[in-house]
Structure 1
Amino acid sequence: MTLQILAVDDSRTMRKMIQMTLENAGIETHLADDGVNGLTALEGLEPDAIITDINMPNLDGFGFIDAVRAQDKHRKTPILVLTTESAPELKAKARQAGATGWVVKPFDPDKLVRALNMIAG
C-alpha cells in the first residue's frame, strides 16, 4: 500500500525537498504552500498523514492544525510538524492543537520517512 501525504510549507525549496524525499521512498505526495491552500487541497484528499510548517503566511501551522482537527474526517489523521522552531512551548502548543509529532529542519530524509511510516503505517 502506498502512503499518501499532504505537505504544507510556504518555502518552494522545502516543498521540493520534501517531495523528492517522499517520492524516492515511494510515497505519494501532495503539496500546498500555506494553511489556506492546505485546507483546500484536503477537500479532495484522504491522506495517511499531513506534514505542516508552523511559520506560514495567510494561515500558520497552528491555525491549520486547528482547522484540520475541526473536520470529522481528519480528526485522527496524523500530523507531523516540520519546522525550524524547536522551542518546548511551541512543541507543547502544537501538541495541544493536535499535532502527532515534531521534526526540526533541516531534516534527515531517512528519519522523516521513518517517522511518517511510524505514524501513518
Structure 2
Amino acid sequence: MATTLFKLVMDATTTTDTNPEVERYFYKLEEADRDSGIITIPYDKFFDDEGNSLTTNLTTATPNNGYYLLFVNGVLQQTSLFTVGSQGSSLEIRNASSVPVSAPITLIVNNFAPVSNTVITS
C-alpha cells in the first residue's frame, strides 16, 4: 500500500451576536456654552431619553468597536467637527459660530458587545 496522508474532516459554524448598546444624549444650545465659534457642553447639561439630567459622564465610544453620531439642529455632523472629552466629561463642537441659540444637539453613542459561539463537528 502506498503512503497516504490522512486528513481530519472538520466542520465549524460560528454565530456572532453584535449586541449594540446605544446611548442618546440631548441638549438645547445656550449662548454661555459658545466661545469663539467653539461650543463646549459639560456632561451635566445633557439629558437622557427620560428627560433626566446626567449625573455621570457621557458614555464614550469603544475604540474599534463603537462610534458617535452628532446631530446639530437636526443635521448629522462630520466626526472631524466634534470631540468627546476625556472620559466623557464634555462635548466640544468646532466651527459652530452659526449654530443658533436653542438649537437641539443630540449625541448618540453606539458601542458593540459582540459574543461569538463556534460549534465544531468532525
Q: TM-score, with normalisation over the residues of structure 2?
A: 0.24
* Structure number having the greater helix percentage: 1
Q: TM-score, with normalisation over the residues of structure 1?
A: 0.24
Q: Which has the higher contact order (CA 8 A, sep 6+)?
A: 2
* Structure number having the greater strand percentage: 2
